[in-house]
A and B are shown apart, each in its own frame.
Chain A
Amino acid sequence: KAGVTQTPRYLIKTRGQQVTLSCSPISGHRSVSWYQQTPGQGLQFLFEYFSETQRNKGNFPGRFSGRQFSNSRSEMNVSTLELGDSALYLCASSLALGGGPSDTQYFGPGTRLTVL
């Protein structure tokens, strides 16, 4: 079974631009979460999507948004990029909302975003 895939793996943008990152979950997984990882702040939860609906959101400004498609694939968008948005963005998938003890979150390799 293929794992979580993320595209692109690396991205370089300039301040003020916007960016869209893509995530394909493990087949059969319906919940997708996004995280931002930086050396200073560690791993921070951005949001979770299930059945094309945002179910939870972390403490990030409105410039960070996402969506999920009917096939469970997800995209996240960051508008008006700032230097501080440079980070590794990780996507993770799990079976379901309220998946319970048998469920687990599996991570993709991440997209390394550099903002110049």
Chain B
Amino acid sequence: GDSVTQMEGPVTLSEEAFLTINCTYTATGYPSLFWYVQYPGEGLQLLLKATKADDKGSNKGFEATYRKETTSFHLEKGSVQVSDSAVYFCALFRWSLNTGNQFYFGTGTSLTVIP
């Protein structure tokens, strides 16, 4: 079945450092891939998404590329800020009219950025 494996945290970086959070998936076909971010005490916010192979999703300086050959969707940012401190979730969505939508989330990676 479908699944998502996400890099374990926590991750601590200094401000302006480069960020990579690894995410790999197991799935047949072409599901949609997402990154969500959760700030303390809040729900999940959509960060970016990609819906087909080689698509690059980007938002607020974050990027992730849908790599079918390596079944990966790694999250990257060139220069992190203190305000990026949050928990990041990789997710796989399979939209299906017949079987119902199916959603799979990684375990989340906590990021702390220190000044």
Contacts and interface: CB of A to CB of B under 8 A. Distances in A.
Given A97-B97, A97-B101, A42 B107 contact: yes
Chain B, interface size category, equals 20 to 34
B44 A33 contact: no
Nearest to A97: B97
Contacts of B46: 104-106
Nearest to A6: B43
Interface in B58-115: 89, 93, 95-108
Contacts of B101: 31, 33, 48, 55-56, 94, 97-99
Central interface residue in A43, A45, A55, A90, by most chain B CB within 10 Å: A43
Contacts, number: 67
A41 to B, nearest CB: 9
A39 B99 CA distance: 29
Interface string B28-61: 0000101010000011111001011000000000
Interface of B: 32, 34, 36, 42-46, 49, 51-52, 89, 93, 95-108
Given A56-B100, A101-B32, 18 more contacts: A4-B43, A31-B101, A35-B105, A42-B106, A50-B100, A55-B100, A55-B101, A56-B101, A98-B95, A98-B96, A98-B98, A98-B101, A99-B101, A104-B34, A104-B46, A104-B49, A105-B34, A109-B43
10 contacts: A43-B108, A97-B101, A98-B96, A98-B98, A99-B95, A101-B95, A102-B51, A104-B46, A105-B93, A109-B42
